[in-house]
Amino acid sequence: MNKTIIVSNRLPLQIERNDNEIKVKPSVGGLATGMKSVHKDSNGIWIGWSGLTDEELNPEIEKKVNSAISEEQCVAVGLTQEDVDLYYYGFSNRTLWPLFHYFIEYTEFDQKSWESYERVNQKFAKVVLEQAKDGDKIWIHDYQLLLLPALVKAEKPNLSIGFFNHIPFPSYEIFRTFPKRKEILEGILGADLIGFHTYDYERHFLSSVKRILNLDVSFNKITHDHRIIKVDSFPMGIDYEKFKSAALKHNTQKPDEKTEIQKRLDQHLEYSSDVKMILSIDRLDYTKGIPNRIRAFEYFLKKYPEFQEKIRLIMLAVPSRSQVPQYQKLKRETDELVGRINGEFSTVSWTPIWYFFRTMPFENLIDLYTSSDVALITPVRDGMNLVAKEYVATRTNEDGVLVLSEMAGASKEMNEALLINPFNFEEIADTIKQALEMPKAEQKSRMQTLQKRVSRYSVEKWASEFMNSLKQVHNISNFIEAEKISDNHIQDFQKIIQSQDSKLMFLDYDGTLVNFTKKPEDAKPDAALFELLDRLDAQPNLDIVIISGRDNETLGTWFADKNYTLISDHGVAIRNENKEWQILERLNTDWMENVLPVLETFVDRTPGTLVEKKKYSLAWHYRNADIELAQKRVVEINTVLTSFISNTDLTLLKGNKVIEIKSSKVNKGRACSHVLNQKEYDHIFALGDDWTDEFMFEELPKKSHTIKVGLKKTKAKYYLNKTDAVRIFLTSLLE
């Protein structure tokens, strides 16, 4: 039975070690809950670091740890202390974390930690490959493992791999500054499905893929390395029922069942009827906007002094990554700010900020959520922010107001919250006031809508939607009906090519025999290509036809002393063995003087594009342009030219990063028919990568061996992954 393997930096469990005794406790975090059905139901396993370094383990303890965690269906990846320092605290948290959260000034790049990041990703890959069997699904999580998808895919292409990024993906302008940008993108692209919390992150990622790797992106699908990769957004939810039922239970507590914290909170709330509490909970991280929040609260107290002695900010800051200097600095800054404000505003019976720097047990978290009138969540960047959703889930009386930063991924789904810009103190202060004064009816209507949405998109739903999508994506490769050329096909074709039967082979040039280059004139045939074509041409009764969109002068010059048949300009002219060009279609080219100025305006407005004037057609090339701008221009050019050419016999052809205008009387299909009318052949082969080649595939007799180059929809019978595979294929026919 196929299984699912979940991979994350840490395993979802806590290991307690007492001398030589080991106790394993499963974690109860959101991710662990969401993945429960994926993990346990499908006999799946979870791969990750146990939390104990190699140095902390001896063979005996390691055996115990491994056996204890295997009972939880987990497998450990061993990390040394150096790995943890360089890969985790180093590259993950001092490089990727700040960069992806737009803190460029905090982003340190250091070769040693990059090498450690590579090494640890390889360690993970090794364990994954030991555990995975063909047909299994792998779900890799988060920014610590960005290289893992490609490492696994390279070894086992038949595994279906999903990757989910829990943090934002930054805009291209930020991401492009990063020295290892290519490696990171290529690492992620080993996955078949790539998930983000929001559409914005998805679009940023696609934009980087287009601009940095120059790959074809169509809507949310990327063609890369002969695969189609899907990118989508899956907003992560919470274990709604867990928070809701905990809150319901909490609300019926008897006085003696209450926690110490709850008793203190009650004392404050009972002080007077207009006393209110504002809650803030986060890991102490510079992305969470904690100093800004405190300063905005200070500003609020100054701007609206009537709230002094009535409002209290309860701030839970959970210790995090305290080895990293920026976190130490943030801790000092937070302590100082809280101290200053409490010093400035406190009275005998009131301190404005209650500050906790620690982790709290779940029941205390529920105390805080249920007792607070307002949740003030103001990250400067946050992938999603689950605290916002948890607050909503615990408000079982349908009251309370969520003030949420528009920079948190959660804001995309939580429109009924009061959304603020975390850098605008004026707005935050005014919004705090609005939240504190919001009528109950409005609180209720906002909260009801929020609850409906947050309860529907729970963490279980998130996980199951991702897994369903992963199942479908793996079938995407089936959308190409053509058959991939296999060793068996090659053996059959070899026999034909080397037989005495009469054979004809049509070969498109650009994108088929040679790769595309920045300038069309750079894609001249090289010595190896000549040698290959000559060897093919020397096969018994095999006629070679180079059929291209290039003009006859270019082809005539390149292949001046060769005997192959040449067809130029998509089928306008043909050169046979006598080396004379013969016009197949008489064409009027008067239209060019009208269309050329139109195309030139597009060249002026789109840097990196150029117009190629051919004898019978005009081509607008956009291979070197900014791809997003070029795509907009393609739509424009289509609109403009379609009206221009209506009622003419002109047609618009979309090629590979080129748009060509030419007479519809000419196409490669008609030119192929012309060749076939001259002589009968036992076998016909045709290879091409472009739209223009589709005419050829369509027109040729059914029994022909038509071969598409690249993963695109086609009328051809077979396909080869990419241009580089063509020469290998042709060479193999001669062996």
Would you count residue 166 as binding ligand GDG (CB under 6 A)? yes
The Cα–Cα gap between 189 and 183 comes to 10
Would you count residue 192 as binding ligand GDG (CB under 6 A)? no
Q: What is the DSSP string of 305-339?
A: GGGTTTEEEEEEEE---TTSHHHHHHHHHHHHHHH
CB of 327 to ligand GDG, least distance (A): 13
Would you count residue 676 as binding ligand GDG (CB under 6 A)? no
Tokens encoding 705:
């061996």
Closest alpha carbon to 656 in 236, 223, 356? 223
Bridge partners for 279 per DSSP: 314, 375
Q: Which of 311, 386, 523, 584 binds ligand GDG (CB under 6 A)?
A: 386
Would you count residue 140 as binding ligand GDG (CB under 6 A)? no
Q: Please state, as a whole number, how many other Cβ atoms lie within 10 Å of the Cβ of residue 642.
A: 10
Would you count residue 165 as binding ligand GDG (CB under 6 A)? no
CB of 164 to ligand GDG, least distance (A): 8
Bridge partners for 293 per DSSP: none
Q: Which stretch binds ligand GDG (CB under 6 A): 121-129, 260-268, 383-391, 628-636?
A: 383-391
Planar angle of CA 620, 623, 627, nearest 5 degrees: 105
Nearer to ligand GDG, 30 or 187 (CB): 30
Q: Which of 192, 239, 373, 390 binds ligand GDG (CB under 6 A)?
A: 390
Nearer to ligand GDG, 293 or 705 (CB): 293
The Cα–Cα gap between 307 and 56 comes to 53
Would you count residue 412 as binding ligand GDG (CB under 6 A)? no
Nearer to ligand GDG, 357 or 691 (CB): 357
Nearer to ligand GDG, 413 or 699 (CB): 413
Q: Which of 508, 510, 551, 693 is catalytic?
A: 508
Q: Which stretch binds ligand GDG (CB under 6 A): 211-219, 356-364, 530-538, 557-565?
A: 356-364
Q: Which residues contact 506 (CB under 8 A, 6 or more apart)?
A: 545, 547, 668, 672, 675, 684, 685, 686, 687, 688, 696, 700
CB of 288 to ligand GDG, least distance (A): 7
Would you count residue 281 as binding ligand GDG (CB under 6 A)? yes
Do 667 and 571 meet the contact criterion of CB atoms below 8 Å apart?
yes
Active site residue 526: no
Nearer to ligand GDG, 193 or 687 (CB): 193
- For the segment 221-260, give every residue that binds ligand GDG (CB under 6 A): 236
Would you count residue 367 as binding ligand GDG (CB under 6 A)? no
CB of 3 to ligand GDG, least distance (A): 24
Q: Which stretch binds ligand GDG (CB under 6 A): 379-387, 432-440, 572-580, 671-679?
A: 379-387
Closest alpha carbon to 242 in 369, 358, 359? 369
Would you count residue 52 as binding ligand GDG (CB under 6 A)? no
Query: What Cα–Cα distance (Å) separates residue 415 from each residue in 281, 316, 348, 450, 453?
Result: 20, 25, 40, 8, 11
Binding mask 20-39 for ligand GDG (x = CB under 6 A): ----------x---------
Q: Which of 385, 405, 565, 663 binds ligand GDG (CB under 6 A)?
A: 385
Would you count residue 167 as binding ligand GDG (CB under 6 A)? yes
Tokens encoding 597:
């100025």
Tokens encoding 18:
């007492």
Burial of 479 (0-12, 13-18, 19+ CB in 10 A): exposed
Report helix angle 111-131 to 148-155, nearest 10: 40
Nearer to ligand GDG, 82 or 232 (CB): 232
Query: What Cα–Cα distance (Å) separates residue 60 from each residue in 10, 15, 76, 108, 127?
Result: 22, 15, 15, 39, 20
Nearer to ligand GDG, 280 or 606 (CB): 280
Q: Which of 212, 213, 275, 360 binds ligand GDG (CB under 6 A)?
A: 360
Would you count residue 362 as binding ligand GDG (CB under 6 A)? yes
- For the segment 294-353, give every residue that binds ligand GDG (CB under 6 A): 316, 318
Nearer to ligand GDG, 283 or 303 (CB): 283
- Applying CB under 6 A, the site for ligand GDG has a residue count of 19
Residue type, 670: R
Closest alpha carbon to 641 in 619, 624, 656? 619
Closest alpha carbon to 137 in 124, 151, 152, 127? 152
**Catalytic center residues:** 508
| Contact footprint for ligand GDG (CB under 6 A) | 30, 166-167, 236, 281, 283, 316, 318, 359-360, 362, 365, 382-387, 390
